[in-house]
Amino acid sequence: MGRLPTSFINAHDADEIRRLAEKHGIPFNEAVRQIVALYFRQPFPLSRKRMGDSKTDRLPEMVAPRHVVEGIHALASSLGHTRGEVLRQIIRGTLRKRRGRD
């Protein structure tokens, strides 16, 4: 196991994660871990540009499987982003893909 970094995310994304967590009866942190793990099972391209919208909710530092933590680090290095920016993009992209299926 390793640790995902603390990160700021868009308030709308955080609210959507809270709703999903409540719907499935799991804690918020577990919902975030599952979203990130899903990305590594079904990856999509991340942007080299930083997300420009407001980042008002803070994700706490949380425990995650080592391969996920290492994957976040590798993506951050290859894109020239912080690990927090990579988390923001993964969360935003995964939530958008999910909305497209609803």
Q: Which of 87, 77, 85 is nearest to 35 (CA)?
A: 87
Residue 77: exposed, middle, or buried by beta-carbon count in 10 A (0-12, 13-18, 19+)? exposed
Residue 99: exposed, middle, or buried by beta-carbon count in 10 A (0-12, 13-18, 19+)? exposed
Model confidence over 32-67: pLDDT tens digits?
999 999 999 999 999 888 776 666 788 889 999 999
pTM of the shown model:
0.87
Question: Which pLDDT score, from 0 to 100, does residue 52 have?
Answer: 62
In the chain the first and final C-alpha atoms are separated, in Å, by: 33
Q: Which residues, listed in sequence order, are joined to residue 4 by a DSSP beta bridge?
A: 62
The CATH number that domain 2-101 falls under is: 1.10.1220.10
Write down the domain spans for the chain: 2-101
